[in-house]
Amino acid sequence: MHPILKLLVQRIALGLLLLLAVSAVIFLGVEALPGDTAQAILGQQATPEALANLRERMGLNEPPLTRYFQWLGGILTGDLGTALSNGADIAQSIGQRLGNTLFLAGCAAAISVPLAILLGLIAARHAGKWPDKVISGITLTTISLPEFVAAYFVIFIFTQLIPIFQPVAMVFPGMSFWAKLNAIALPVIVLVLVVLAHMMRMTRAAILNVMQSAYIETAELKGLSPMTVIWKHALPNAIAPVVSVVMLNMAYLVVGVVVVEVVFGYNALGQYLVDHVTKRDLPVVQAVGLIFAAVYIFLNMLADIIGILANPRLRHPK
């Protein structure tokens, strides 16, 4: 087997193993914490009989391992169980909300990725000079802002100072694409702001790292033009680290989405999760938590895979 294929298989297997382990932690680890699902549903005033009854009905008397495998089996067949708080089917509730979350994150990514790479290039090209210092100073500031703080500043600016947007982001089925885009403009701006700084700083570092290599000096001493040096010598080596940076920040975006959705009352997965954490609705929290974890693990895996594929030493073994 080609060594690169072996590495890829190994990395994918590791990702799946990690996902399995995470699912076990989300289910069994949480079970092990003090707290009782039946009590959570019925409240402190529940009679012992009612509690016992509910436990029996929910299968809470079975050993945790058995229930874990039932849960896992359910997930694999698309059955995520029902919510404790309102008895709704979790899979159904998640369905469209997941779509909304991906739409929001996708729009933010579509803007922030090219912008971050462009700014990273500019900063790296002028490393140590004023464009770099300005960009670095601004990003150091935005890195220090949590998503919700950035969000309220953006809301204040765009609804009070320059009132051009709505402070809530309502989307509903049947809305036109453009109406949707208009509705999510503010949350997208916030997400872009937050992700951009991280991504741009890491892109700058990745490019600078490549530009300081001895082979770049070799290329310069061949009398090649700066564009040729960047295009033919730096870029092939910078793609892997930059793509890896992008993937890592997409994973970061996944978390940012949770808070931003709450701020703007955007009806999607993050708000659904936070809502049910407050309601202590464990089955929903476990299911949604696992989805977020899976996306995060998948993106990290993708970053590694691209890194492996782009490495010439691995692509052309001795």
Partner 1 sequence: MRIPISALIGLVLTCIFLFVAIFAQWIAPYPITDVSGGQWEGPSAQFWLGTDTIGRDILSRLIYGAQITIFVALASSVLAFSLGAFLGFLAAVKGGWIDQVLSRLVDLVMAVPSLIVALVVLSVLPLNLTVLILVMGVLDSTRVFRLSRAVAVDITVMDFVEAARLRGEKGSWIIFREILPNALSPLVAEFGLRFIFAVLFISTLSFLGLGVQPPLADWGGMVKENKDGLIYGKSAALLPAAAIAALAISVNLVADWILTRTSSLKGGRGG
Partner 2 sequence: MADPLLQIKGLVIEATSYPPGEAPKQVTLVHGVNLTLERGRVLGLIGESGAGKSTIGLSAMAYGRGGVRLTGGTIHLNGREIRLADAKALRALRGREVTYVSQSAAAGFNPAKQITEQVIESSLSHGLMTKPEAEARAVALFRKLGLPNPETIGKRYPHQVSGGQLQRCMTAMALCPRPDLVIFDEPTTALDVTTQIDVLAAIKEAIRDTKVAALYITHDLAVVAQVADDIMVLRHGRMVELGETGQIIHRPTQDYTRALVSVRSLEHVEKAPAPPILQVQNLTARYRGTTFDVLKNVSVDLPVGQTLAVVGESGSGKSTLARAITGLLPPSAGRIVFAGRQLSADLAGRTKDDLREIQMIYQMADTAMNPRQTVGTIIGRPLEFYFGLKGEARDKRVQELLDQIEMGKGFAGRYPAELSGGQKQRVCIARALAANPRLIICDEVTSALDPLVADGILKLLLNLQAEAGVAYLFITHDLATVRAIADKIAVMFKGAVVRYGQKTDVLTPPFDDYTDLLLSSVPEMEQGWLEQVIAHRKMESAGN
Q: Does 313 bind partner 2 (CB under 8 A)?
A: yes
Q: Does 282 bind partner 1 (CB under 8 A)?
A: yes
Long-range contacts of 224-230 (CB under 8 A, 24+ apart): none
State the distance between the two ends of the chain, measured CA to CA, in whole angstroms: 14
Q: Does 59 bind partner 1 (CB under 8 A)?
A: no
Q: What is the CA radius of gyration of the chain?
A: 24
Q: Does 245 bind partner 1 (CB under 8 A)?
A: no
For partner 1, which residue of 50, 88, 118, 140 counts as binding (CB under 8 A)? 140
Q: Does 77 bind partner 2 (CB under 8 A)?
A: no
CA-CA distance, 4 to 317, in Å (whole number)?
Answer: 9
DSSP state of 223: T
Q: Does 159 bind partner 1 (CB under 8 A)?
A: yes
Q: Does 129 bind partner 2 (CB under 8 A)?
A: no
Q: How far is the CB of 209 from partner 2 (least distance, A)?
A: 13
Nearer to partner 1, 219 or 303 (CB): 303
Q: How far is the CB of 230 from partner 2 (least distance, A)?
A: 12
Q: Does 262 bind partner 1 (CB under 8 A)?
A: yes
From the list 101, 111, 142, 144, the residue with the least C-alpha distance to 261 is 101
8 A C-beta contact, residue 132 and residue 211? no
Binder of residue 18, out of partner 1, partner 2, none (CB less than 5 to 8 A by kind): partner 1
Binder of residue 219, out of partner 1, partner 2, none (CB less than 5 to 8 A by kind): partner 2
For partner 1, which residue of 22, 52, 111, 208 counts as binding (CB under 8 A)? 22
CA-CA distance, 144 to 139, in Å (whole number)?
Answer: 9
- Which string of x and - marks every residue 224-263 that binds partner 2 (by CB under 8 A)? xx--x---xx--xx--------------------------
8 A C-beta contact, residue 103 and residue 296? no
Contact region with partner 1 (CB under 8 A), list: 98-106, 117-125, 154-162, 198-206: 154-162
8 A C-beta contact, residue 53 and residue 63? no
Q: Does 68 bind partner 1 (CB under 8 A)?
A: no
Question: What tokens does 32 get?
Answer: 């092990």
Please name the residue that has the structure tokens 């289910």. 27
Residues 106, 108, 114, CA angle at the centre, nearest 5°?
Answer: 100
CA-CA distance, 224 to 235, in Å (whole number)?
Answer: 15
Q: Does 3 bind partner 2 (CB under 8 A)?
A: no
Cβ atoms within 10 Å of 1's Cβ, excluding its own:
7
Q: Does 259 bind partner 1 (CB under 8 A)?
A: yes
Binder of residue 196, out of partner 1, partner 2, none (CB less than 5 to 8 A by kind): none
Binder of residue 228, out of partner 1, partner 2, none (CB less than 5 to 8 A by kind): partner 2
Exposure pattern of 273-283 as b/e (b: 16+ CB <10 Å)?
Answer: bbebeebebbb
Please name the residue that has the structure tokens 């990003």. 139
Angstrom distances, CA of residue 146 to CA of 153, 155, 311: 11, 14, 35
Q: Which residues pair with 281 in a beta bridge?
A: none
Q: Which chain residues interact with partner 2 by CB under 8 A? A: 213-215, 217-225, 228, 232-233, 236-237, 312-313, 316, 318
Q: Which chain residues interact with partner 1 by CB under 8 A? A: 18, 21-22, 25-26, 30, 33-35, 140-141, 143-149, 152-153, 155-156, 159-160, 167, 251-252, 254-255, 258-259, 262-263, 273-274, 276-278, 280-282, 285-286, 289, 292-293, 296-297, 300
